[in-house]
Amino acid sequence: MQESFENSVKNMLTIIGEDPNREGLIKTPERVFKAFKYMLTIIGEDPNREGLIKPPERVYKAFKFLTSGYEQDPKEVLGDALFTSSNNEMVLMRNIEFYSLCEHHLLPIIGSVHVAYIPNGKVVGLSKIPRMVNIYARRLQIQEQMTEQIAKALEDVIAPKGVGVVVEARHMCVEMRGVQKINSTTTTSALRGCFIKNADTRREFFSLINSPRETHF
């Protein structure tokens, strides 16, 4: 049963465009099998009873949706909505909520992203930024990597004077298992261009994302 289950997980990883043999995923099939079997048996369930026969199929469909980001190119999404602009001040979109799956245990990561850039003759349609975030989030991820990917995509496509990205998230692999630290959060950042070189720009960015978040129009 274990071999068949692990092969199914490997096939699922291959279908979504991942390499099940890369370092971060080698032990994932075994971890998923153990977690699945342990979850059912520890609560006194029989994985072979009628109501639990179809969960593998349902889980596959759920994971296909949760990893749909492999089917899209975030740089194409950004590139479809570039506009000439004389604006040279910071453009900031904050509190972009997302969910993802950690690549080590396939458990949820839930958080928000703050994205800013200084235009250099071009701006991007605002809706494209959260779309781009969703594409990266709906892949197997580690938070540090996703933060870098978002910053690089903006830098490559928009060619701005600078980019700032901050991701704040809760990791269920930390809260639900292992050290079980409920409500612990992880913050990562990626700064490019003038966000690194100019202390005033960097200070403005962090000040804005940390300012009170209630907005009344």
Domains observed in the chain: 2-66 (no CATH), 75-209 (3.30.1130.10)
Question: How confident is the model over 125-136, as pLDDT tens digits?
Answer: 999 999 999 999
Q: Looking at residue 27, what is its pLDDT?
A: 80
Q: What is the mean pLDDT of residues 79-102?
A: 95
CB neighbours of residue 204 within 10 Å: 17
Spatial distance between the Cα atoms of 64 and 77, rounded to a whole number of angstroms: 20
Query: What does the pLDDT read at residue 34?
Result: 67
| pLDDT recorded at residue 4 | 60
The pLDDT value given to residue 99: 97
Question: Residue 16: its pLDDT value, please?
Answer: 65
Nearest-angstrom CA–CA distance, 20 and 7: 10
Ranges 50-54, 192-196, 209-213: which has the least confidence: 50-54
Q: Which residue has the tokens 């630290």?
A: 181
pLDDT tens per residue across span 20-40: 888 888 887 777 766 676 677
Q: Is the pLDDT of residue 12 over 80?
A: no
DSSP symbols for the chain: -HHHHHHHHHHHHHHTT--TTSGGGTTHHHHHHHHHHHHHHHTT--TTSGGGSSHHHHHHHHHHHHTGGGGS-HHHHHHTTEEE----S-EEEEEEEEEEEETTT--EEEEEEEEEEE-SSEEE-TTHHHHHHHHHHTSEE-HHHHHHHHHHHHHHHH--SEEEEEEEEEEHHHHSSTT--TT--EEEEEEEEHHHH-HHHHHHHHHHHTS------
Banded model confidence at residue 209, pLDDT cuts 50, 70, 90: very high
| Tens digit of each residue's pLDDT (9 = 90 or more) over 149-186 | 999 999 999 999 999 999 999 999 999 888 888 989 99
- As annotated, the active-site residues are 102-105, 143, 171, 173
* CA distances from residue 120 to 126, 177, 209 in whole angstroms, order as listed: 16, 45, 22
pLDDT at 199 over 80: yes
Does the structure show a pLDDT above 80 at 8? no
